[in-house]
């Protein structure tokens, strides 16, 4: 087991290197030059050459990548070409916002999906099941941003501005700069709509998967045995059925992380949140190479690590699975 | 092997008559088995029957059908041009003249939503088909021949899969530089297709790995049938069910990805009507003109729902075990 974990952790390195390298090459093959944007109206060919030299942009792409990597190992993520701000600092400011959004949205998803799936599976083909499956079907068919728009219409506009439609208020103690709104209640108000918008779609997918695998599991012999030996319904459902039904579900949820990252970008854009998603998309569109690299690095690491965690969760959920 | 292609990877086994099912025998060229002809039709007929019994699948088929008609006849159905702006009629509320109102440029929302169907369906369907036509052969070759080709193909696929899909799609679109019109639509199609190719390659490779060990493939080889014929005539039909299901459900996903790219400003560019773009553009006016962002969103939802229902029904019909 320990060897397996170590091997998997070591495999993260080449994957992250590959992803960041591909992003690096792709960004530099994009038409348009950040130097032109930086110099603006004052653009002259001489200045452009100087600026390119200053940022090392005149070197071959692979050399640039190696230089970027070398600095990264020393903890230097580079500085934004356009604003001059250190990338690491910006990323760290924005990371907590996105983390809060994603964690809460997964919470929303679990709170909705687990009861819905259990009810759906245990009362298969009743109105409760039909409601759960229909709502789940609708849920998987609505893109996050449209759920967000609907929530905006209901809670920020319809109900007299009950919840704010955009912006962000930080949790006490997390304010990254000198000036920013800080309050617990304000934070809850601002995160609620985005978290629900992002969570509902996940909840729908989770409900469908979990209901299907619950249906399979409750027909197995060990569940019948558990019932036959007089075990109560609660331990049968939660200890025997749910735990086993979660195994295939978790695999797919791991694969869903790629969609979650896209969802975060979209939801943050819609609600104008100062998170990593808006940071990334702004950087990509502005062709701010260093910022994009920082964003890609963080996303890649998160993606790979979550998939690793998913694999490791198996051993907890199914002790029969042993890795050599 | 008549062409001296792939060596037999399996140990030669005696082919006994009883190991071949009747349906499989008809698949072997030159073997006539009149009674089996009907039965080999059975799975398809069975699937159609099951599909017709599922109300939800029929609803899905109906939605998809209506949308196809709307997309094809958009020019006839749309009351006005989706592109021409009319500065004297901006932000009209829904009325008889403008059933869904007008946007900030005075363009008829109904016409834009109707024409938006084209982009959505075109990108959704063609990106998935493009991915299918590239991914399926790759998966077949990788699975059938194994060895170095397999390793090479699957490594590249793994690299694409290692990317969070939206990060890759966004980067590809920035690389392609989004534009309007047909070219712009083709760029989005290409970006989404690239992201989807590995899904097919993996799926098909998995199926082929098990199918190529089957007796009927061995029988073909014993008869000296060439590899391409085996692949397309015997291997492909047997992994068709998951391909069809993945394709239908994949169209739903692709439509969402297209809408999301448009929402981020990276899809087909204006003035070409696109639901995602329209939704995004009108969110700015949501305070006073709520209906404007509602209709493009509803259109996306309905389209995705249609393909999802259809795909779910197909999956249940084609393979009841997958339920």
Helices A289-317 and A257-270, packing angle to 10 deg: 130
If you write DSSP's letter for every residue of B91-147 in order, what string do you get? TPPS-SSSTT-B-TT--BHHHHHHHHHHHHHHHHHHHHHHHHHHHHHHHHHHHHH-H
Written as six digits, the tokens of B288 are 């006073």
Which residues, at least 6 apart from A197, have a Cβ–Cβ distance to it below 8 Å?
A105, A144, A145, A147, A148, A151, A267, A270, A271
> Scanning every residue of chain A, which has its alpha carbon at the shortest distance from the alpha carbon of B258?
A143
Chain B hits for A26, CB-CB cut-off 8 Å, are 171-172, 175
Q: Is the pLDDT of residue B8 over 50?
A: no
Chain A hits for B279, CB-CB cut-off 8 Å, are 145-146, 149
B247: in domain = yes
- CB < 8 Å from B in window 76-105 of A: none
Instruction: Determine the Cα–Cα distance for residues B105 and B82; give it in Å rounded to an integer.
Output: 11
Written as six digits, the tokens of B63 are 């939605």
Helices A289-317 and A243-255, packing angle to 10 deg: 160
3-state secondary structure of B298: helix
CB neighbours (10 Å) of residue B296?
30
pLDDT average, residue stretch A141-170: 85
Residue B147's domain comprises: 56-89+99-322
B264/A contact by beta carbon, under 8 A: yes
Chain B hits for A212, CB-CB cut-off 8 Å, are 323
Instruction: Determine the Cα–Cα distance for residues B187 and B194; give it in Å rounded to an integer.
Output: 11
B43: in domain = no
Q: Is the pLDDT of residue A44 over 70?
A: yes
Band of pLDDT at residue A170, cut at 50, 70 and 90 = confident
B151: in domain = yes
8 Å CB contact between B161 and B223 = no
Q: Is the pLDDT of residue A324 over 90?
A: no
B12: in domain = no
Among residues B258, B248, B309, the alpha carbon closest in space to that of B279 is found at: B258
b vs e for A195-230, b when ≥16 Cβ sit within 10 Å of the residue's Cβ? bbbbbbbbbbbbbbbbbbbbbebbeeeebeebeeee
Q: Which range (B91-100, B124-133, B301-310) has the least confidence?
A: B91-100
A306/B contact by beta carbon, under 8 A: no
Q: Is the pLDDT of residue A150 over 70?
A: yes
Cα atoms in the Cβ-side hemisphere of radius 13 Å centred on A12: 19
Alpha helices in A56-161 (DSSP H): 61-73, 87-122, 127-141, 144-151
pLDDT score of B198: 93
If you write DSSP's letter for every residue of A224-259 in order, what string do you get? HHHHHTT--HHHIIIIIIIHHHHHHHHHHHHHTHHH
Q: Is the pLDDT of residue B200 over 90?
A: yes
Q: Per residue in B218-227, pLDDT tens?
A: 899 899 889 8
A269/B contact by beta carbon, under 8 A: yes
pLDDT score of B306: 95
8 Å CB contact between B191 and B172 = yes
Structural domain count, chain B: 1
pLDDT score of B247: 92
Indicate which of B297, B303, B304, B315 best probes the interface with A, i.e. most A CBs within 10 Å of its own CB.
Answer: B297
> Scanning every residue of chain A, which has its alpha carbon at the shortest distance from the alpha carbon of B164?
A258
Band of pLDDT at residue B11, cut at 50, 70 and 90 = very low
Cα atoms in the Cβ-side hemisphere of radius 13 Å centred on A310: 18
pLDDT above 90 covers what percent of chain B?
36
Q: Is the pLDDT of residue B139 over 60?
A: yes
B179: in domain = yes
pLDDT average, residue stretch B254-272: 90
pLDDT score of A233: 85
What value does the mean pLDDT of chain B take?
82
Written as six digits, the tokens of B79 are 């009351």
Task: Tell me which residue has tokens 């209506």.
Answer: B66
Q: What are phi and psi of A163, to 5 degrees?
A: -125, 145
Highest mean pLDDT pick, A47-61, B36-50, B144-158: B144-158
Which residues, at least 6 apart from A298, have a Cβ–Cβ distance to it below 8 Å?
A91, A95, A276
8 Å CB contact between B127 and B196 = yes
Q: Per residue in B19-54, pLDDT tens?
A: 334 344 444 444 444 444 444 556 677 778 888 888
Instruction: Determine the Cα–Cα distance for residues B208 and B202; give it in Å rounded to an integer.
Output: 10
Q: What are phi and psi of B7, to 5 degrees?
A: -75, 155
Instruction: Determine the Cα–Cα distance for residues A257 and A238; give it in Å rounded to an integer.
Output: 25
Q: Is the pLDDT of residue B304 over 60?
A: yes
3-state secondary structure of B153: helix
pLDDT score of A234: 87
Task: Tell me which residue has tokens 């249609």.
Answer: B306
Q: Per residue in A277-321, pLDDT tens?
A: 999 999 988 888 889 999 988 888 888 888 888 877 777 777 776
pLDDT score of B5: 43
pLDDT score of B155: 87
Instruction: Determine the Cα–Cα distance for residues B286 and B120; give it in Å rounded to an integer.
Output: 23
B148: in domain = yes
A26/B contact by beta carbon, under 8 A: yes
Q: Per residue in A55-81, pLDDT tens?
A: 778 888 889 999 999 988 898 888 888
B167: in domain = yes
8 Å CB contact between B307 and A140 = no
CATH at B232: 1.10.3720.10
B7: in domain = no
Q: What are phi and psi of B145, to 5 degrees?
A: -95, -25
Q: Is the pLDDT of residue A154 over 80?
A: yes
A124/B contact by beta carbon, under 8 A: no
**Do A157 and B308 make contact, defined as CB atoms within 8 angstroms?**
no
CA B279 to chain centre: 24
Written as six digits, the tokens of B290 are 């709520």
Instruction: Determine the Cα–Cα distance for residues A250 and A37; give it in Å rounded to an integer.
Output: 44
pLDDT score of B321: 55
Q: Is the pLDDT of residue B201 over 90?
A: yes
pLDDT score of B150: 92
pLDDT score of B253: 92
pLDDT average, residue stretch B298-320: 88
Highest mean pLDDT pick, A293-297, B121-125, B236-240: B121-125
Q: How many CB pairs under 8 A join A and B?
A: 121
Band of pLDDT at residue A39, cut at 50, 70 and 90 = confident
Q: Is the dihedral of CA A307, B159, B194, A69 positive or negative?
A: positive
Q: Is the pLDDT of residue B191 over 70?
A: yes
């Amino acid at each position: 087991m320990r060897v397996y974990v170590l091997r998997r952790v070591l495999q993260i390195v080449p994957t992250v290197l590959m992803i960041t390298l591909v992003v690096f090459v792709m960004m530099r093959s994009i038409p348009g030059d950040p130097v032109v944007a930086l110099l603006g109206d004052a653009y002259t060919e001489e200045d452009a050459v100087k600026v390119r030299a200053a940022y090392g942009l005149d070197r071959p792409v692979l050399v640039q990548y190696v230089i970027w990597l070398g600095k990264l190992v020393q903890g230097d993520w580079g500085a934004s070409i356009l604003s001059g701000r250190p990338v690491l600092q910006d990323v760290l400011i924005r990371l907590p916002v996105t983390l809060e959004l994603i964690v809460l949205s997964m919470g929303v998803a679990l709170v909705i999906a687990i009861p819905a799936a259990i009810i759906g599976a245990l009362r298969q083909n009743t109105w409760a099941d039909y409601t759960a499956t229909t709502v789940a079907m609708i849920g998987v068919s609505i893109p996050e941003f449209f759920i967000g728009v609907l929530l905006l219409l209901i809670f920020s506009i319809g109900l007299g501005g009950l919840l704010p439609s955009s912006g962000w208020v930080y949790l006490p103690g997390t304010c990254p700069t000198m000036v920013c709104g800080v309050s617990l209640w304000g934070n809850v108000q601002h995160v609620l709509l985005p978290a629900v918008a992002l969570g509902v779609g996940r909840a729908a997918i989770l409900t469908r998967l979990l209901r299907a695998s619950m249906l399979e599991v409750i027909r197995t012999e060990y569940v019948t045995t558990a019932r036959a030996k007089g075990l109560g319904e609660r331990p049968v459902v939660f200890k025997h059925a749910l735990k086993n039904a979660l195994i295939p579900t978790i695999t797919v949820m791991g694969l869903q992380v790629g969609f979650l990252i896209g969802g975060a970008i979209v939801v943050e854009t819609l609600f104008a949140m100062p998170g990593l998603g808006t940071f990334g998309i702004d950087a990509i569109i502005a062709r701010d190479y260093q910022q994009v690299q920082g964003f890609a690095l963080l996303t890649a690491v998160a993606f790979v690590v979550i998939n690793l965690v998913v694999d490791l969760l198996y051993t907890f959920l199914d002790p029969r699975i042993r890795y050599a | 092997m008549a062409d001296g292609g792939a060596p037999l990877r399996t140990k030669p086994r005696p082919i006994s008559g009883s190991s071949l099912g009747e349906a499989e025998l008809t698949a072997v060229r030159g073997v006539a088995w009149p009674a089996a002809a009907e039965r080999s039709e059975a799975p398809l007929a069975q699937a159609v029957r099951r599909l017709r019994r599922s109300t939800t699948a029929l609803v899905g088929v109906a939605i998809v059908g209506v949308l196809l008609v709307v997309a094809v006849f958009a020019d006839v159905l749309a009351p006005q041009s989706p592109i021409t702006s009319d500065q004297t009629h901006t932000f009209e509320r829904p009325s008889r003249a403008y059933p869904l109102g007008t946007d900030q440029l005075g363009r008829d929302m109904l016409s834009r939503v109707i024409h938006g169907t084209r982009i959505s369906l075109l990108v959704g369907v063609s990106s998935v088909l493009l991915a299918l036509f590239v991914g399926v052969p790759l998966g077949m070759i990788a699975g059938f021949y194994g060895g170095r080709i397999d390793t090479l193909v699957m490594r590249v696929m793994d690299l694409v899969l290692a990317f969070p899909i939206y990060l890759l799609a966004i980067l590809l679109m920035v690389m392609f530089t989004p534009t309007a019109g047909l070219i712009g639509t083709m760029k989005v199609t290409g970006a989404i297709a690239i992201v989807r190719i590995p899904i097919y390659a993996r799926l098909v490779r998995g199926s082929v790995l098990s199918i190529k060990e089957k007796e009927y493939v061995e029988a073909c080889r014993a008869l000296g049938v060439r590899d391409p014929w085996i692949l397309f005539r015997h291997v492909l039909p047997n992994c068709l069910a998951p391909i069809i299901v993945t394709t239908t459900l994949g169209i739903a996903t692709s439509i969402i990805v297209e809408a999301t790219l448009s929402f981020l400003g990276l899809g087909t560019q204006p003035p070409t009507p696109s639901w995602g773009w329209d939704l995004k553009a009108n969110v700015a006016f949501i305070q006073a003109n709520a209906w404007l962002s509602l209709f493009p969103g509803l259109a996306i939802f309905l389209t995705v729902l249609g393909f999802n229902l259809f795909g779910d029904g197909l999956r249940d019909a084609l393979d009841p075990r997958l339920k």
